Amino acid sequence: MTDVPVLDLSADVVSLTRQLVDIESVSHNEVRIADAVEAALRPLAHLDVSRHGNTVVARTDLGRAERVVIAGHLDTVPINSNLPSRLVDGILHGLGTCDMKAGDAVILKLAADLTAPNRDLTLILYDCEEIESHHNGLFKLTVSDPDLMRADFAILMEPSDAVVEAGCQGTLQFEVRATGQRAHSARSWKGANAIHAAAEILSRLGSYEARRPVIDGLEYREGLNAVMIRGGVATNVLPDECVVSVNHRFAPDRSEEDAERFVVDFFDGFGVTVTDSSPGAHPGLDRPAAKAFIEAVGGPVNPKFGWTDVARFTVLGVPAVNFGPGDPMFAHKQDEHVPVEHIERCERQLKQWLGLDKVDHRGMA
Amino acid sequence: MTDVPVLDLSADVVSLTRQLVDIESVSHNEVRIADAVEAALRPLAHLDVSRHGNTVVARTDLGRAERVVIAGHLDTVPINSNLPSRLVDGILHGLGTCDMKAGDAVILKLAADLTAPNRDLTLILYDCEEIESHHNGLFKLTVSDPDLMRADFAILMEPSDAVVEAGCQGTLQFEVRATGQRAHSARSWKGANAIHAAAEILSRLGSYEARRPVIDGLEYREGLNAVMIRGGVATNVLPDECVVSVNHRFAPDRSEEDAERFVVDFFDGFGVTVTDSSPGAHPGLDRPAAKAFIEAVGGPVNPKFGWTDVARFTVLGVPAVNFGPGDPMFAHKQDEHVPVEHIERCERQLKQWLGLDKVDHRGMA
């Protein structure tokens, strides 16, 4: 571990966020930031630290009645002329500020400052969230060390405007295919145009009305959208195939199988091929650990429309919510940023919930 | 001119076709076949031979009342395991047999055998017909030596089942664009899906009814077909653009401008961008030279639906027809072939029309 950046966990949470942001960590390039995180956590005597690839896990083992997982990913999408960080008028700008190094900084502050939390903690900082699922550090941990994922409740520090976003919708990616018969375009009556046949697919999509089920008091909103379309052989040939790639977002009261049945039925008469699928996550707000968290944090509770790694906990039977600083609409944008107030509020509320009596969000160490 | 293949113009037309087919001449690789054609024609005292790139022109100058252009292209589409030629049961198989070295062989037989035709002849064997128009040898000749194209009538030896196909339809290539607004597919109500908006474009295409005008007694049949479609940003993003490439074939009673006005009007409400356009060719069967040819050849006269180089003559005010051996449906196919009977019939009919009294289609020289 040579040339490992030094993280100062005694700094305030905003400074710590900047330290993390300024260590470039695009997916597959997380070794330096993971080294830095591991090096900062190892000396803390109240934590049991383990390393799994570029994922770092830190646990207390105080025999508390409940255990909580708090997790954040260390990687970012590619750089877009938005490094290093800049702090302007209470807003921290730069790649990863919102998605999600501000959340990671909160986790590191909890690690450093909560030497005797009222719930046992499993803190997970992982790699490769922004790319294909099989690289995802949390997914790999689910496979290699599922016991480390077990808890009564999980919080994922995904940006959610510093309020609780519960559960998440599932996502089903599939192709709908219209077919025809090739012919020279100068003698088109000898063939059948597959692109023309796709009009019916697009027109059904246009008439789709989204289901909006209420689950645990939260109104979800489904979606069915063409995201890609392709077809054509040459400019003088009638095309014999047109493929529409469709993305379906489904509320967590439906399983992946339910969702697939729905789309096959919806596109009756056309070939449907599922290419990718991830289950939703039930909000689980009826579970005692979740209830207590919601009460402690206060404020609104919103449904999560997008898919996040909370679903990985749901699969293990662990209720999980998204709760992190930053507006998710700015994730992956060139002008990504996070309000300082969000970062400080998340830190303060988590510390209060986890039993730090006197909370001063500056210089807490 | 080293290593120039020797063409034996005294051979019968089918043997000569095989000689031409067995000289590979994919577009941009016509130098050897053009050298061979030039070398075979130069010794013929009754012809004035000139070379223009890989295009060879041979003319009589007998002061006849009429001049006829007879033209054929020397290039082929790429090889597809279909060389050398094979003669099986009266059918000659191989790349270029149909499109259009059988026609070229007929032209070479006319050149060799008609020392005193009843009409002056301009025989043109040209390159690069199968690729972008600006490479086309006949197009280049129109620009560099338009006088060589002037005539009372022109015959293009494009495969037409050895019957006359008159004129040709024009072709207009354009893009129709539907637009929208990007949004994350999990929050689709924040955007507008451009692919869904393209449903209306496809549905108008589906309801199109082809105009079938009768011109000089021939029924043309227009066409309007999507040939390509593209759209999409990523599988989790609502697309903001969907582009449909459309090919319009229009009968020769409409100009390119007429055709463009029609499609702009047809897709009213959408952006239309013309990317390519070629005018149709009026059959011109009311012109005396054309009439005489039709009478001499006999048989049915069909409209040409596809676009061919006959349009280049129409632009110069020269009536022109397609008349060549082979079924055009087999052009560009792996199993390209031509019936021997077609080749011999074309040769016989052209020679009769051009004044060779005693026609014996074998060993005529």
Q: Which among A129, A185, A241 is the top mutation candidate for probing chain B, defined by the most B β-carbons within 10 Å of its own β-carbon?
A: A185
Comparing CB atoms, the residue among A193, A225, A238 nearest residue B193 is A225
pLDDT confidence band for B364 (50 / 70 / 90): very low
**A234 vs A195: which has the higher pLDDT:** A195
**pLDDT tens, residue by residue, B122-139:** 999 999 999 888 999 999
Residues 290-349 of chain B with CB under 8 A from chain A are: 305-307
Q: In this structure, what are the phi and psi dihedrals at residue A164, rounded to the nearest 5 degrees? A: -75, 125
Nearest-Cα distance to chain A for B327, in Å, is 14
User: Is pLDDT of A336 > 80?
Assistant: yes
Asked whether the beta carbons of residue A235 and residue B226 sit closer than 8 angstroms, the reply is no
Comparing CB atoms, the residue among A195, A226, A238 nearest residue B195 is A226
**pLDDT tens, residue by residue, A293-320:** 999 898 899 999 989 999 999 889 999 9
pLDDT confidence band for B1 (50 / 70 / 90): very low
Residues in B closer than 8 angstroms to A221, CB to CB, are 189
User: Is pLDDT of B365 > 80?
Assistant: no
Nearest-Cα distance to chain B for A282, in Å, is 16
User: Is pLDDT of A3 > 90?
Assistant: no
User: Is pLDDT of A157 > 60?
Assistant: yes
Residues 159-178 of chain B with CB under 8 A from chain A are: 169, 171, 173
**Are B76 and B25 in contact, with CB atoms under 8 Å apart?**
yes
Residues in B closer than 8 angstroms to A226, CB to CB, are 193, 195-196, 231-232, 239
Asked whether the beta carbons of residue A231 and residue B235 sit closer than 8 angstroms, the reply is no
pLDDT at A133: 86
Comparing CB atoms, the residue among A186, A223, A232 nearest residue B306 is A186
Per-residue exposure over A164-192, b if at least 16 CB sit within 10 Å of its own CB, e if not: bbbbbbbbbbbbbbbebebbbbbbbeebb
pLDDT at A284: 87
Q: How many CB atoms lie within 10 A of CB A223?
A: 23
What number is the ipTM of this complex?
0.83
**B97 vs A167: which has the higher pLDDT:** B97
**Are A109 and A347 in contact, with CB atoms under 8 Å apart?**
yes
Q: Hunting for tokens 């490992």 — which residue is that?
A: A4
pLDDT at A289: 86
Asked if B221 reaches chain A (Cβ–Cβ under 8 Å), the answer is: yes
Asked whether the beta carbons of residue A235 and residue B242 sit closer than 8 angstroms, the reply is no
pLDDT at A358: 54
**pLDDT tens, residue by residue, B238-286:** 999 999 999 999 999 999 999 999 999 999 999 999 999 999 998 888 8
Distance CA B235, CA A225 (A): 10
Q: In this structure, what are the phi and psi dihedrals at residue B249, rounded to the nearest 5 degrees? A: -100, 125
Q: What does the DSSP 8-state code read for residue A269?
A: T
Distance CA A254, CA A200 (A): 26
Asked whether the beta carbons of residue A225 and residue B169 sit closer than 8 angstroms, the reply is no
Residues in B closer than 8 angstroms to A236, CB to CB, are 171, 227, 247
Residues in B closer than 8 angstroms to A227, CB to CB, are 185, 195, 232-239
Asked if B273 reaches chain A (Cβ–Cβ under 8 Å), the answer is: no
Per-residue exposure over A66-102, b if at least 16 CB sit within 10 Å of its own CB, e if not: ebbbbbbbbbbbeeeebbebebeeeebbbbbbbbbbb
Report residue A200 as tokens.
């019916």
**pLDDT tens, residue by residue, B198-212:** 999 999 999 999 999
Q: Which long-range contacts (CB under 8 A, 24 or more apart) does B136-139 make?
A: B136/B309, B137/B52, B137/B53, B137/B54, B137/B55, B137/B73, B138/B55, B138/B71, B138/B73, B138/B309, B138/B312, B139/B312
Asked whether the beta carbons of residue A235 and residue B249 sit closer than 8 angstroms, the reply is no
User: Is residue B75 annotated as part of the catalytic site, yes or no?
Assistant: yes
Asked if B207 reaches chain A (Cβ–Cβ under 8 Å), the answer is: no
Nearest-Cα distance to chain A for B341, in Å, is 26
Which amino acid, residue A149? Answer: M
Residue B217: how many CA atoms within 13 Å on its side-chain side?
Answer: 10
SS3 (DSSP) at B192: strand
**pLDDT tens, residue by residue, A39-89:** 999 999 999 999 999 999 999 999 999 999 999 999 999 999 999 999 999
pLDDT at A357: 59
pLDDT confidence band for B36 (50 / 70 / 90): very high
Residues in A closer than 8 angstroms to B202, CB to CB, are 195-196, 198-199, 202
pLDDT at A234: 87
pLDDT confidence band for B2 (50 / 70 / 90): low
Residues in A closer than 8 angstroms to B245, CB to CB, are 232, 235
pLDDT exceeding 70 applies to what percent of chain B? 97
pLDDT confidence band for A363 (50 / 70 / 90): very low
Asked whether the beta carbons of residue A203 and residue B199 sit closer than 8 angstroms, the reply is yes
Asked if B188 reaches chain A (Cβ–Cβ under 8 Å), the answer is: yes
Distance CA A242, CA B115 (A): 56
Nearest-Cα distance to chain A for B85, in Å, is 25
Report residue A338 as tokens.
């996070």
**A8 vs B296: which has the higher pLDDT:** A8
Comparing CB atoms, the residue among B187, B193, B206 nearest residue A199 is B206
Q: Which of B35, B38, B75, B127 is catalytic?
A: B75
**B47 vs A186: which has the higher pLDDT:** B47
In the beta sheet, which residues pair with residue A178?
A: A242
User: Is pLDDT of A1 > 60?
Assistant: no
Asked whether the beta carbons of residue B227 and residue A239 sit closer than 8 angstroms, the reply is yes
Taking residues A6-11, report their average pLDDT. Answer: 97
Asked if A193 reaches chain B (Cβ–Cβ under 8 Å), the answer is: yes
pLDDT exceeding 90 applies to what percent of chain A? 84
Provide the angle, in degrees to the nearest 10, between the axes of the packed helices B102-113 and B340-353.
40
Please, what is the Cα angle at B120 between B114 and B121, to 5 degrees? Answer: 65
**pLDDT tens, residue by residue, B321-361:** 999 999 998 988 889 999 999 999 999 999 999 997 555 54
Asked whether the beta carbons of residue A196 and residue B225 sit closer than 8 angstroms, the reply is yes
Nearest-Cα distance to chain A for B221, in Å, is 8
**A131 vs B71: which has the higher pLDDT:** B71
**Are B321 and B181 in contact, with CB atoms under 8 Å apart?**
no
Omega into A239 within 30° of 0, i.e. cis? no
Nearest-Cα distance to chain B for A134, in Å, is 17
User: Is pLDDT of B310 > 70?
Assistant: yes
pLDDT at B154: 96
**Are A39 and A6 in contact, with CB atoms under 8 Å apart?**
yes
pLDDT at A236: 87
Nearest chain B residue to A247 by CA: give it: B235
Which amino acid, residue A32? Answer: R
How far CA A15 is from CA of A121, A160, A328, A344, A348, in Å, comes to 23, 21, 21, 11, 16
pLDDT exceeding 90 applies to what percent of chain B? 84
Nearest chain A residue to B170 by CA: give it: A186
User: Is residue B129 annotated as part of the catalytic site, yes or no?
Assistant: yes
Residues in B closer than 8 angstroms to A237, CB to CB, are 227
**pLDDT tens, residue by residue, B76-93:** 999 999 999 999 999 999
Q: Which of A4-13, A152-161, A174-183, B297-306 has the lowest mean pLDDT?
A: B297-306
User: What rounded mean pLDDT belongs to chain B?
Assistant: 94
Residues in B closer than 8 angstroms to A188, CB to CB, are 223, 225, 249
